[in-house]
Amino acid sequence: MQKQSLTKGFAVMSAASIIVKIMSFLYIPFLMAIIGDEGTGVYGVIYQVYVFIYVIANSGIPVAISKSISELTAIGNGKDALRAFKIARSYLIILGLLLSLIMFITAKPVANMLNCEKASLGIAVLSPTLFITAVISSYRGYFQGRGNMSPTAISQVIEQFVNVFFTLLFAYLFRETVEGSCAGATVGTSVGALVAAMYLIYIFKRNREYRQYRDPNVKKLPYGELAKRIIKYSIPITICVAAQYAGNLIDLTNTMSRLNAAGYSEVEASKLYGLLFKYQQLINAPIAIASALAATILPIISAAVAIQDKKQLDEKTNYTFRLCFFISIPSAVGMSILSKQLYSILGYGDGYKLMMYGSALLILMSISQIQTSILQGAGKLYKATFYLLIGIVVKIMINYILIGIRAINIMGAIIGSIVGFIVPIVLNTIEIKKSMDVDINLLKLASKPLISSAIMGLAVWLVYKPLYFVLKFIGSIYIANAISTCIAVSVGVVVFAYIMIYVRGITKEDLNNMPAKLKLIIPKRILTMIR
Give per-residue pLDDT as tens, 80-90.
888 888 888 88
pLDDT greater at residue 300 or residue 426: 426
**Do 367 and 425 meet the contact criterion of CB atoms below 8 Å apart?**
yes
Vertex 355 angle, CA 351 and 358, to 5°: 125
**Do 43 and 185 meet the contact criterion of CB atoms below 8 Å apart?**
yes
Alpha-carbon distance of 280 to 40, in angstroms, equals: 18
Q: What mean pLDDT is predicted for residues 394-416?
A: 88
Please, which residues have CB within 8 angstroms of residue 237's CB and are 6 or more apart in sequence?
Answer: 59, 60, 63, 64, 376, 381, 385
What sections of 174-265 are H helices per DSSP? 178-206, 223-261
Exposure string over 471-485, b if 16+ CB within 10 A, otherwise e: beeeeeeeebbbebb
Question: Does the structure show a pLDDT above 90 at 484?
Answer: yes
pLDDT given at position 4: 54
pLDDT given at position 496: 92
pLDDT-wise least confident of 80-94, 293-307, 465-479: 293-307
DSSP 505: S
Q: What mean pLDDT is predicted for residues 449-468?
A: 94
Alpha-carbon distance of 415 to 428, in angstroms, equals: 20
Q: 427 pLDDT band (50/70/90 cuts)?
A: very high
Question: Does the structure show a pLDDT above 60 at 22?
Answer: yes
Alpha-carbon distance of 6 to 400, in angstroms, equals: 41
Q: 485 pLDDT band (50/70/90 cuts)?
A: very high
Q: 456 pLDDT band (50/70/90 cuts)?
A: very high
What sign results for the dihedral spanned by CA atoms 268, 269, 274, 276?
Answer: positive
Q: 253 pLDDT band (50/70/90 cuts)?
A: low
Residue 501: alpha-carbon gap to chain centroid: 28
Residue 292: alpha-carbon gap to chain centroid: 7
pLDDT given at position 464: 94
Alpha-carbon distance of 450 to 461, in angstroms, equals: 17
Q: What mean pLDDT is predicted for residues 414-424?
A: 91
pLDDT greater at residue 196 or residue 273: 196
Portion of the chain with pLDDT greater than 70, in percent: 84
pLDDT given at position 49: 78
pLDDT digits (tens, 9 = 90+) for 184-227: 888 888 999 999 999 999 988 887 655 555 555 666 777 787 88
Q: What is the pTM of this model?
A: 0.76
CA terminus-to-terminus distance, the chain? 33
